[in-house]
Structure 1
Amino acid sequence: MKHHAARRERLCGQMPAGAVAILATAPEVQRNADSDYPYRHDSYFYYLTGFAEPESVVVLVAAQGARPARSILFCRQKNAEREIWDGFRHGPEAAREAFGFDEAFAIDDIDSELPKLLANAPALYCPLAHSAAFDARIKGWMDKVRSQSRSGVTAPASVHDLLALLDEMRLFKDDHEQALMQRAADISGRAHERAMRATRPGMFEYEIEAELLHEFRRSGAQSPAYPSIVASGAHACVLHYNANNAQMRDGDLVLIDAGCELDSYASDITRTWPVNGRFSEPQKQLYELVLAAQAAALAAIVPGRRYSAIHDAALKVLAQGMLDFGLLDKSSFGNVDDVIAQRAFAQFYMHGTGHWLGLDVHDAGAYRNVTLEDRPSRILQPGMALTVEPGIYVRPAPGVPEQFWNIGIRIEDDVVVTPGGHHILSGTAPKLVADIEKAMQHG
């Protein structure tokens, strides 16, 4: 748990002396009747604690004078009867020792203990407007402290958004996090290759989804990082399609956007391949275009360049291809810059070229430097992890060459910025046309 303890220490170092931070994990959510959805802890909470049980709160107190910083966990008591039904619970004392906290209390004691911790603290850090229910509990604790004002006790004079500090911390992945993300990407890469080998005309999309899920679990991943997209034919032109219930037809492409979550860290890979194992010429033309756009985007991932350079590089390649293949009428535009300025590309490419990746598949962290007046795109730095996912989606429309209708292609990889450039975590998933067709021949 040294990585989590180091994060708590680093967070305390960013707060004023004696300030208090409070963060709760996610609640359990009822699915129906007496059945809950599979529990998944809050990512911010896990980042600081490594603790995955529900009904938990962490409190950090920044160092003040001779008093060192303190980390305190509130969690469920041991309960032998409930453990028969629901499984193991650490309980406060075992959790304190196992997860490296200075103190631990039963969650039932939080209403009596929190006002003591807030008393005379100069500032409070908590998630602002994140949960109405927890906001109300914080107000209750603050009111108890204010009720002691005649005794000289003061409540925190200022309240700050804790998540703003944690967003910046989470944006940079340490070696431990990068190793977990590499393992997750390796598993997901194998799952995509397994799905390629299994694909045949006449199968249903959900059969291929089952291949992905099989590989995730057999390799130790706890769950998908998000609902898998298995989109064949025209469905590939629906960006967040996840019905996954259509029959795959000979001659169509299938776009799969799927990644596992391993030890709370996400992977996110997209590959597109022909259902019958061979790209047609129009499919190959557009596929190679998207592949070239991704190569241009990857080349832009260098420390010191702006995040926006990634999208700009991909967009220029895609826009030129749209002109070259007749998706856009050359007579209407002077050059690629005109296509971009008029946003004509948005008919076929309407999303960004990536996002941060980590504990969440769309991970925490600002994409712009909000401290500057013009809010420029932020500078890439080593340790940042992101996806690179250009695509092209051709719906039937007047003036659009019919041979490209209903072709949807996206190629997505997971990447970490390094001191010398970048490292692709998901490189094991076949991506070149020849490699995809070879993998499908040996299914």
Structure 2
Amino acid sequence: MKYPAKAHALKVKNHFLAEKKSEKKDGIAFFIASATYTNYPYCDQVAPLRQNRYFHYLSGIDQMAGAFILFNVLNEKLTLFLPNIDDEDIMWSGLPLSPEDALKEYDVDEVLYAKDVTKTLESLKSSNFDIYTTDTDQYSKAAFAKLVIPKDTSFFYALDESRLIKDEFEISLMRHAAEITDNCHMAVMSALPIETNETHLHAEFVYHSLRQGSKFQSYDPICCSGPSCGTLHYVKNDDQMDGKTSVLIDAGAEWKCYASDVTRCFPITGKFSKEHLDVYETVRDMQAQAMKEIKPGVAWEDLHLLTHRVLIKHFLELGLFHNGTEDEIFNSKVSAWFYPHGLGHLLGMDTHDVGGNANYEDENIMLRNLRLRRKLQAGMVITDEPGVYFSPFLLEHISEEQEKFVNREIVHKYMYIGGVRIEDDILVTADGYENLTGITSDPHEIEKIVQKGLSKGKGGFHVIA
């Protein structure tokens, strides 16, 4: 089965015409360039290609540079322009894809070469077409750059709204990415005897990802231990783990340009300490309370604020908060300094996928970093990833008015943990949700996995066949 590029183009067309509030069904075309290979500065080595996601959405093409895709709204014809053949490059890279093979592989109506772009676009312009594109960065010096309309807000809106709701083909890709990621997280938990440095966590995850055919990560893995678990996007990944208690690994494999994004925490000794388990169960309850409310029509902001209330309830029970009621502490917003990020975000071809309508200027610090600010719809894929952190940097921001609610003596006892985040990938369905993430988050099951690995000693941890 081919990637449904034509169906995606039609979705973009419908959203675009609706946004423009126009009944006009001709005289419009969409044109997008692929990514191009670039050299590292002062070097002849080529950087890895990361495909333009908008190009991919309308073509289904991943590792190809110098290509273009054109959708004619009038006749609904989708044309792929392959990169021009470079005879010298064949010696180094082999034969390129032929037009005949491209028609078999991709869901397009016509295949031409990049040398045909100018003539094709000029023909459309002579017929009074408006040709919309995202940008002209890859061909700004080409003659046809003057024939297109870049950065139109309605075009971006149409692309983003189309990508917002995943079809069955996209969901199948994301399920596979999630399955690969589950196996990788299991491998990391199982291999602690050979993981004495955070780099080893990183290496173990990527190794098993590659073994399963995923050559790219959705993002740079976050592999931290001890107090560093309180740094949200920690990518240093090279501290020694000796003498520390906690591990947090946030990593996801990519499959055919579609992302997974999963976070798991586990104890280095194979047994959660009291404080680590206290925080872990707090976060697990936050995630569970949000999860059971996921369904179409629910405002994501409401679920995010719900998780703050769950955090406050647990903190009061643990003595981390005091001198106030749940409502008083919630209204003070002090919980934002222990849970500074949003409950989750959209997931798709990008880890933080398009269409979330975030408001990073929000005066409410509890909502400012929330990447998804809209009601849930069936077909969305989101992450449910609450967290609790004990970061000296964050605690410095507690105001005098908020300070009375914080029991610093008890907080100090939890600082060595750094933080806990639990993250699953969730498909919103017509009547609820489906959790795409299969790796366990049950603390007792995690202890058993880690202990089993520890009991094996060094070596023998390649669990992926």
Quickly name the TM-score band, shorter chain normalised. 0.7 to 0.9
Q: Which moved more, 1:114-123 or 1:34-43?
A: 114-123
Q: Which residue number in structure 2 is paired with residue 147 of structure 1?
A: none
Paired residue type of 1:30 = N
Q: Which residue number in structure 1 is paired with residue 132 of structure 2?
A: 125
Q: Which moved more, 1:93-102 or 1:160-169?
A: 93-102
2:386 to 390, 399, 403: 390
In 2, the alpha carbon distance for the partners of 1:54 and 1:202 equals: 38
Return structure 1 stretches of 4+ with deviation > 6 angstroms: none
1:48 correspondence with 2:58: yes
1:266 correspondence with 2:259: yes
Q: Which residue number in structure 1 is paired with residue 424 of structure 2?
A: 413
1:17 correspondence with 2:15: no
Cα contact 1:123–1:159 (8 A) shared by 2:
no
Cα contact 1:20–1:59 (8 A) shared by 2:
yes
Q: Which moved more, 1:237-246 or 1:99-108?
A: 99-108
Q: Report the CA distance between 1:115 and its aligned residue.
A: 2.0
Q: Which residue number in structure 2 is paired with residue 257 of structure 1?
A: 250
Length-normalised TM-score, structure 2: 0.83
Cα contact 1:233–1:249 (8 A) shared by 2:
no
Q: Which moved more, 1:180-189 or 1:86-95?
A: 86-95
SS at match of 1:35: coil
In 1, the alpha carbon distance for the partners of 2:330 and 2:77 equals: 53
In 2, the alpha carbon distance for the partners of 1:223 and 1:354 equals: 22
In 1, the alpha carbon distance for the partners of 2:92 and 2:138 equals: 27
Identity %: 31
In 2, the alpha carbon distance for the partners of 1:213 and 1:342 equals: 42
Q: Which residue number in structure 2 is paired with residue 8 of structure 1?
A: 9
Q: Report the CA distance between 1:300 and its aligned residue.
A: 1.8
Paired residue type of 2:53 = S
SS at match of 2:250: strand
Unaligned runs of 5+ in 1: 144-155, 370-375
Q: Which residue number in structure 2 is paired with residue 102 of structure 1?
A: 109
Give CA-to-partner distance per residue, 1:296-318, whole Å, 9 cap, x none: 11112111211222212211111
Q: Which residue number in structure 2 is paired with residue 404 of structure 1?
A: 414
In 1, the alpha carbon distance for the partners of 2:99 and 2:194 equals: 55
Paired residue type of 2:298 = R
Paired residue type of 2:245 = D
Q: Report the CA distance between 1:442 and its aligned residue.
A: 1.2
Q: Report the CA distance between 1:210 and its aligned residue.
A: 1.1
Cα distance change of structure 1 residues 288 and 159 upon mapping to structure 2, 3 Å threshold:
closer
In 2, the alpha carbon distance for the partners of 1:291 and 1:136 equals: 53
1:345 correspondence with 2:335: yes
Give CA-to-partner distance per residue, 1:168-216, whole Å, 9 cap, x none: 1111111111111111111111111110111249700111111101111
Give CA-to-partner distance per residue, 1:295-346, whole Å, 9 cap, x none: 0111121112112222122111112222332333x21x3x223323222012
Give CA-to-partner distance per residue, 1:152-181, whole Å, 9 cap, x none: xxxx8x955422101111111111111111
Query: RMSD between aligned alpha carbons?
Result: 2.5
Q: Which moved more, 1:75-84 or 1:27-36?
A: 75-84
Length-normalised TM-score, structure 1: 0.87
In 2, the alpha carbon distance for the partners of 1:139 and 1:88 equals: 27
Q: Which residue number in structure 1 is paired with residue 463 of structure 2?
A: none
Q: Which residue number in structure 2 is paired with residue 149 of structure 1?
A: none
Paired residue type of 2:35 = A
In 2, the alpha carbon distance for the partners of 1:102 and 1:187 equals: 33
Q: Report the CA distance between 1:352 and its aligned residue.
A: 0.2
Q: Which residue number in structure 2 is paired with residue 293 of structure 1?
A: 286
Cα contact 1:307–1:367 (8 A) shared by 2:
no
Paired residue type of 1:27 = T
Q: Which residue number in structure 2 is paired with residue 195 of structure 1?
A: 188
Q: Which residue number in structure 2 is paired with residue 247 of structure 1?
A: 240
2:146 to 125, 136, 141: 141
Q: Report the CA distance between 1:70 and its aligned residue.
A: 1.6
In 2, the alpha carbon distance for the partners of 1:101 and 1:212 equals: 36
- Between Structure 1 and Structure 2, which shows a larger proportion of strand residues? 1
Cα contact 1:389–1:413 (8 A) shared by 2:
yes
SS at match of 1:263: coil
Q: Report the CA distance between 1:388 and its aligned residue.
A: 0.6
Q: How many residue pairs were aligned?
A: 414
Give CA-to-partner distance per residue, 1:97-121, whole Å, 9 cap, x none: 5323333322133233322222333
Cα contact 2:387–2:422 (8 A) shared by 1:
yes
Cα contact 2:264–2:422 (8 A) shared by 1:
yes
Cα contact 1:167–1:366 (8 A) shared by 2:
no
Cα contact 1:306–1:380 (8 A) shared by 2:
yes
Q: Report the CA distance between 1:135 and its aligned residue.
A: 6.1
Q: Which residue number in structure 1 is paired with residue 457 of structure 2?
A: none
Paired residue type of 1:357 = L
Q: Report the CA distance between 1:421 and its aligned residue.
A: 0.6
Paired residue type of 1:317 = V
Q: Which moved more, 1:408-417 or 1:317-326?
A: 317-326
Cα distance change of structure 1 residues 73 and 272 upon mapping to structure 2, 3 Å threshold:
same
Paired residue type of 1:186 = E
Cα contact 1:382–1:417 (8 A) shared by 2:
yes
Paired residue type of 1:425 = L
Q: Which residue number in structure 1 is paired with residue 458 of structure 2?
A: none
User: With CA pairs under 8 Å and 6+ residues apart, which has the higher RCO, 1 or 2?
Assistant: 2
Q: Report the CA distance between 1:22 and its aligned residue.
A: 1.2
Cα contact 2:295–2:376 (8 A) shared by 1:
yes
Q: What are the residue-to-residue correspondences of 1:27-426 with 2, within 5 Å?
A: 27-32=36-41, 33-52=43-62, 53-63=64-74, 68-79=75-86, 81-127=88-134, 130=135, 132=137, 134=139, 140-142=145-147, 161-200=154-193, 203-328=196-321, 330-331=322-323, 333=324, 335-367=325-357, 377-396=373-392, 399-401=408-410, 402-407=412-417, 408-426=419-437
Paired residue type of 1:303 = P
In 1, the alpha carbon distance for the partners of 2:143 and 2:128 equals: 14
SS at match of 1:31: coil
Cα distance change of structure 1 residues 282 and 140 upon mapping to structure 2, 3 Å threshold:
closer
Cα distance change of structure 1 residues 241 and 122 upon mapping to structure 2, 3 Å threshold:
same
